[in-house]
Each structure stands twice: as structure tokens, then as C-alpha cells.
């Protein structure tokens, strides 16, 4: 329960930050059989699939580095499904961003174009 609430708070923090930086919300916690996309947003140029990572100080990698190749694959599969079921967005170029929040400091790091599909 605590972990879920902390995650939701981190996602709201990331969403507010991205909105302040010009992105607009399309979907929050979008789920399909391939997994969940924390935030789907857009700017004037891209449909943006955002993974939000909140890390505790005990972690070995920082929050952004924790999005490994397996997680990337799941995000790409979920994004493909999102596009297949959302005709409005199918012609938009897409990118994958990561917003990392360090649990001990609350420091937020935004990596746009974090990985390619």
C-alpha cells in the first residue's frame, strides 16, 4: 500500500513537472496485457510515453538507469498496443522518456528520448 501511494505521488510530481515544461496529458496509468505506461503525453511534435521511476537510496542504479532492456521491451509493446487502439495518435511520431525521482532527495531528472524502439 505504501509503495503504491509513493509511486502515485511520484507520478503526479512527474506529470506536474512535464506540464510545466509544455507537455499535455493524454492518459495516466494506461494498462494493457503487455503492462502499464505511467504517463502518455504530447508536445507539439511527439506523442511521449513516459516511465516514472522512484528509487530509494539503497538502489544500485539511479532511477533513470533502472529502466533496463527488459522494461524497455515491455514499454515498447504497450506503446504499440496503445497506438493500435488509438487511431487519433497513430500518425504522430513517438518517443520514450524517463522521469527519475531520487527517493532520498526528491531530485527529478527528465531524460527525453531515453531509448529508441
Percent of the chain beyond pLDDT 90? 69
Higher pLDDT, residue 5 or 57: 57
39-90 pLDDT, tens per residue? Answer: 999 999 999 999 999 876 655 565 656 789 999 999 999 999 999 999 999 9
Pair 100, 55: CB distance under 8 Å = yes
Q: What is the residue extent of each domain of the chain?
A: 2-115
pLDDT for the residue 50: 97
The burial of 109, by beta-carbon neighbours within 10 Å (0-12 exposed, 13-18 middle, 19 or more buried), is given as: middle
Q: Which fold has domain 2-115?
A: Trna Endonuclease; Chain: A, domain 1 (3.40.1350)
The pTM (predicted TM-score) of the whole model is 0.89
pLDDT for the residue 48: 98
**Gap between the Cα atoms of 45 and 97, Å rounded:** 14
Amino acid at each position: 500500500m505504501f509503495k503504491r501511494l509513493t509511486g502515485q505521488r511520484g507520478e503526479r510530481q512527474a506529470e506536474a513537472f512535464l506540464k510545466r515544461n509544455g507537455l499535455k496529458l493524454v492518459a495516466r496509468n494506461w494498462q494493457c496485457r503487455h503492462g502499464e505506461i505511467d504517463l502518455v503525453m504530447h508536445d507539439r511534435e511527439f506523442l511521449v510515453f513516459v516511465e516514472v521511476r522512484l528509487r530509494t537510496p539503497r538502489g544500485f542504479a539511479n532511477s533513470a538507469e533502472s529502466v533496463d532492456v527488459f522494461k524497455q521491451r515491455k514499454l515498447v509493446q504497450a506503446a504499440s498496443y496503445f497506438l493500435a487502439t488509438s487511431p487519433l495518435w497513430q500518425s504522430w511520431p513517438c518517443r520514450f522518456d524517463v522521469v527519475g525521482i531520487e527517493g532520498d532527495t526528491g531530485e527529478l531528472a527528465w531524460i527525453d528520448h531515453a531509448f529508441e524502439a
